[in-house]
Structure 1
């Protein structure tokens, strides 16, 4: 049995903090922020998040979507974090561990942030935090990011943060309400990759202190 099944939802640290960010599950009252960023980021969310865009057309839709994300969290199906600036509580994006495969265990990382590419450093900060959550709190053995040609900047982001390009599956994805088929490029990080990257960073930090 996967270690994930042995972790009760209340045993997980749901609020994650970095130097500049607060990451936490959505709650009642977040719907205005949630919908605003969806509307601001539609161009960079398509086609990966076309389903979410299609589902959230009004404020009540946003409330329902967030309630579903909470249910999926409690059922260990998806771990979806909203991301807020620590300084002024501005909501800037979303990062999630989804498509959890309990057998490996592994999960896909999905993310979108408003203001890209100006917010790139914040995205990297959130991504590194989610990697730590995935490999330490959830004890995953692998995470991966998928991107289409129109979202190739996600692939570039992945590689800059230690992911390895694993290949492209042709005509492997279709967005909601679209007949167009997209190629999907996979970028993966194993537990060994993650630990090697962290050890390298710790060694670098130690050298700089000396």
Structure 2
């Protein structure tokens, strides 16, 4: 998938070094709400093992990791994933983080809109949802600009890296029916 000067493509094991660099540049920002990523990418060897684990989950259709790549520099500027896949409904949770150098520039909103449409068509999900903390105003803005609707707040729904149990806001977007 391409938009502007960017490509959205699946994350591969061969992306190890650049993916590790993306996480490293943003580790402090990711600490509280990307617990798995932060805890499993402490060094290059751990990151390689993590990529192998998520590749196995992709093979089982349980997890789908993607990158947003700048076509002119080949730099990884964002990460988008589908997790908590429930094929019985079918629905999935979408997660995303953007490199600090690209945050607030509209790239995430464009990527998310394109990617969500792609997921509805490719995987035939009926619903895609995202969860965010009330302090993450950027995620709320992206969700709303991408036609996600606030469905509510689930109390004591997530444990941060620091061990704090926090409430999360749930946003959902339904696949549009074809007329």
- Alignment partner of 1:30: what SS? helix
**Structure number having the greater helix percentage:** 1
Gaps of 5+ in 1: 1-15, 200-210
1:98 aligns with 2:100: no
Match in the other structure for 1:180? 164
Q: In the alignment, is the contact (CA less than 8 A) between 2:69 and 2:76 conserved in 1?
A: yes
Residue in 2 that maps onto 1:161: 146
Aligned-pair Cα RMSD in Å: 2.0
Q: Which runs of 5+ in 2 are unaligned?
A: none
**What residue in structure 1 maps to residue 5 of structure 2?**
20
Q: 2:127 aligns with which of 130, 138, 142?
A: 142
2:114 counterpart of 1:129? yes
Do the aligned partners of 1:142 and 1:191 also contact (CA within 8 Å) in 2? yes
In 2, the alpha carbon distance for the partners of 1:183 and 1:131 equals: 25
- Contact 1:44–1:112 (CA<8 Å) still a contact in 2? no
1:133 Cα deviation after fit: 1.8
Counting only pairs closer than 5 Å after superposition, residues 64-79 of structure 1 correspond to structure 2 as: 64-79=49-64
SS state at 1:136 partner: helix
Q: 1:57-89 CA deviation, whole Å, 9 max, x = no partner?
A: 111111111122221111110111022111221
- Bigger radius of gyration among the two: 1
Task: Give 2:40's aligned residue.
Answer: 55
User: Could you tell me how far 1:117 is from its partner in structure 2?
Assistant: 6.1
Does the Cα contact within 8 Å between 2:13 and 2:55 map onto a contact in 1? no
Give the match for residue 202 of structure 1: none
Q: C-alpha distance in 2, partners of 1:164/1:117?
A: 25
In the alignment, what sits opposite 1:207? none
**Aligned CA distance change for structure 1 residues 119 and 90 (closer, same or farther; 3 Å):** farther
Any idea what SS the aligned residue of 1:88 has?
A: coil
Higher strand share goes to which structure? 2
Contact 2:77/2:102 (<8 A) preserved: no
Match of 1:32 in 2: 17
TM-score norm. by structure 2 comes to 0.91
SS in 1 for 2:92: strand
1:204 corresponds to: none
